[in-house]
Amino acid sequence: MKSRTELVAELVRNPRISGQSIEALKAFGWDCESPLVTVQKSDILAVLREFAAGKLNADDIQAWANRIEGRDDVAYEHGPDDPVNEAVFWLANPFINYQIDAAICLRIEKLFFDA
């Protein structure tokens, strides 16, 4: 059986996480005293590269971002006000932010490299 840390790492780094892993993670509940995994710029960029290559679609990206947004066991590279956190928010909520398309990929890259 995978540990919570292993499952959270898989959640962050694998946008195609299995339903079995998601169910296993649910057994640990939502609350966590401290973050177990940190989302890095490289994680976001890897997902966006897969999107650009046609390996993921907009729904895949949104579902991935929704699974990690707001979790107590997930931190962001430079804290809660970090551009990585902002990018996850944008991707998780395209209806109130920006449509998930090539333009948002460029916007996020600009956000990362202008920060």
> Is the model's pLDDT at 115 over the cut of 90?
no
113 pLDDT band (50/70/90 cuts)? confident
Domain count, the chain: 1
Q: Write the pLDDT tens digit of every residue in 30-61.
A: 789 999 999 999 999 999 999 999 999 999 99
Q: Tokens 């997930």 correspond to what residue?
A: 74
Average pLDDT of span 66-81 = 91
> Is the model's pLDDT at 114 over the cut of 80?
no
- Per-residue pLDDT, 1: 83
- Nearest CA to 71 out of 36, 19, 40, 113 is that of 36
- 31 close to 1: Cβ distance less than 8 angstroms: no
Q: Tokens 């970090």 correspond to what residue?
A: 82
Q: Write the pLDDT tens digit of every residue in 1-18.
A: 899 999 999 999 999 999
> Which range marks the domain in which residue 53 is found?
4-114
Cut 0.85: pTM above it: yes
Q: Between the CA of residue 108 and those of 42, 57, 84, 86, 113, what are the distances in Å?
A: 12, 17, 9, 9, 9
- Per-residue pLDDT, 80: 79
